[in-house]
Amino acid sequence: MEVDYMMATSLCNIPGGQEQARRRFDWIQAHYSLEPNAAKVIAGAERNCGTVGSQQVSYIWTSATTRTSLVSGAQPSVKGKIYYEWGSSLADGGKSASFIKRIPTEDFESRLIDTTTNGAYAVKMLRKRINSSCARINREAKDSVLDAEASIEASKHFIVVSRGRDYLPSELNIFASRLEKYLQAYCRQFGMTRPQHFIIVYASKNVDNFKKNASLLHGLNLPKGAIGYSFQNDLSIAAVVPIVGVGQGTFNHELFHLLSRSKFGDIPPWMDEGMAALYEVSEIRSTKIAGLPNWRGRVLFTFGSLRPSLKTLLSWNWSNFDNNAEYQPSDTLQVIDNQRFNQQAVNYATARYFMFYLQEKRKLEDVYKAFQERDPDLLTMSIEENSCYTLAQAMGMSFENIESDFQKWLKDEIIKEKMRGYF
Which neighbouring-strand residues pair with 59?
Answer: none
Least separation in angstroms between residue 80's CB and Zn ion is 7
The 10 Å Cβ neighbour count of residue 247 is 15
Q: Spell out the residues 6+ positions from residue 57 whose beta carbon is closer than 8 angstroms to its own.
A: none
Least separation in angstroms between residue 132's CB and Zn ion is 31
Instruction: Give yes or no for residue 352 binding Zn ion (CB under 5 A).
Output: no
Q: Which is nearer to Zn ion, 49 or 267 (CB)?
A: 267
Instruction: Give yes or no for residue 95 binding Zn ion (CB under 5 A).
Output: no
Instruction: Give yes or no for residue 205 binding Zn ion (CB under 5 A).
Output: no
C-alpha 276/C-alpha 259 separation (Å) is 10
User: CB under 5 A: which stretch of 45-53, 59-67, 78-86, 280-288 binds Zn ion?
Assistant: 78-86
Q: Which is nearer to Zn ion, 26 or 273 (CB)?
A: 273
Least separation in angstroms between residue 249's CB and Zn ion is 11
Beta-strand pair 199-204/158-162: parallel
Helices 333-360 and 269-278 sit at what angle, rounded to 10 degrees? 70
Query: What residues numbered 162-191 form the site for Zn ion, per CB under 5 A?
Result: none
Least separation in angstroms between residue 232's CB and Zn ion is 13
Contacts 24+ apart (CB under 8 A), 172-178: 172/203, 174/244, 174/245, 175/201, 175/203, 175/241, 175/244, 175/248, 175/251, 176/201, 178/248, 178/251
Instruction: Give yes or no for residue 211 binding Zn ion (CB under 5 A).
Output: no
- The burial of 204, by beta-carbon neighbours within 10 Å (0-12 exposed, 13-18 middle, 19 or more buried), is given as buried
Least separation in angstroms between residue 280's CB and Zn ion is 9
- Residue whose C-beta lies closest to Zn ion: 276
User: CB under 5 A: which stretch of 80-88, 104-112, 131-139, 364-372 binds Zn ion?
Assistant: 80-88
Q: DSSP secondary-structure letter at 145?
A: S
Cβ atoms of 237 and 202 within 8 Å: the answer is: yes
Q: Which is nearer to Zn ion, 24 or 81 (CB)?
A: 81
- The DSSP string of 218-242 is H-EEPPTTEEEEEETTTTEEEEE-S
Instruction: Give yes or no for residue 275 binding Zn ion (CB under 5 A).
Output: no
Least separation in angstroms between residue 252's CB and Zn ion is 11
Cα–chain center distance at 216: 21
C-alpha 141/C-alpha 212 separation (Å) is 10
Q: Spell out the residues 6+ positions from residue 380 whose beta carbon is closer than 8 angstroms to its own.
A: none
Instruction: Give yes or no for residue 130 binding Zn ion (CB under 5 A).
Output: no
Which neighbouring-strand residues pair with 161?
Answer: 152, 202
Q: Which is nearer to Zn ion, 8 or 275 (CB)?
A: 275
Least separation in angstroms between residue 255's CB and Zn ion is 11
Least separation in angstroms between residue 281's CB and Zn ion is 14
Q: Which is nearer to Zn ion, 234 or 273 (CB)?
A: 273
User: CB under 5 A: which stretch of 9-17, 179-187, 199-207, 271-279 binds Zn ion?
Assistant: 271-279
Return the residue of 24, 31, 81, 211 that touches Zn ion, per CB under 5 A.
Answer: 81
User: CB under 5 A: which stretch of 76-84, 237-245, 315-323, 359-367 binds Zn ion?
Assistant: 76-84
User: CB under 5 A: which stretch of 14-22, 148-156, 159-167, 273-281 binds Zn ion?
Assistant: 273-281
Number of residues that bind Zn ion (CB under 5 A): 3
User: CB under 5 A: which stretch of 73-81, 90-98, 213-221, 339-347 binds Zn ion?
Assistant: 73-81
SS3 label, residue 291: strand
Q: Which is nearer to Zn ion, 270 or 371 (CB)?
A: 270
Instruction: Give yes or no for residue 276 binding Zn ion (CB under 5 A).
Output: yes
Q: Which is nearer to Zn ion, 30 or 276 (CB)?
A: 276
User: CB under 5 A: which stretch of 118-126, 272-280, 359-367, 378-386 binds Zn ion?
Assistant: 272-280
The 10 Å Cβ neighbour count of residue 408 is 10
Q: Which of 248, 245, 374 is nearest to 314 (CA)?
A: 374
Q: Which residues bind Zn ion (CB under 5 A)?
A: 81, 273, 276
